[in-house]
Amino acid sequence: MAVNAKNQKKSKIREKIQKHVYNFHTKNKEGFVQSEIKDVLKKYPDIDMEKFNDALTGITCKIINNETIIYHCDIEKALYCGVEKRDLTFSEWD
C-alpha cells in the first residue's frame, strides 16, 4: 500500500474514532465512567488493550460521585494507540 493511501486510511480511522468518542452519550459531560469505556471498546474488538491501557497511564482524571471520569481527549488518544498498536507520541502527552 502506498504511503499516501496508508495515511488516508489512518486519517479516516482517526476521524471515526473522534466522532465516536465525542458523540458518545456519557452521563457526565466531563467524560467517561468505566462502564461507558467498556461500551466504547465494544466497537474495537481487535484493539490492543495493553497499548490502550498504557496510553491512559498517568492521565489526569476527575472524581464525580465516587466515580472516576476519564476525559474525552484521553479516551480518544488511547483508542488511537490501541487501534494503531503503538505508544503515545511525545506530542500527545498533555
Query: pLDDT of 1-50, one tens digit each?
Result: 576 877 788 889 999 999 999 999 999 999 999 999 999 999 999 999 99
Q: Where are the domains positioned within the chain?
A: 3-92
- The answer to whether the CB of 56 falls within 8 A of the CB of 69 is no
E strand or H helix at 63: strand 61-64
Taking the C-alpha atoms of residue 80 and residue 72, their distance in angstroms, rounded to an integer, is 12
- Paired strand residues for 28: 31
User: Is the overall model pTM greater than 0.85, yes or no?
Assistant: yes
Taking the C-alpha atoms of residue 93 and residue 27, their distance in angstroms, rounded to an integer, is 26
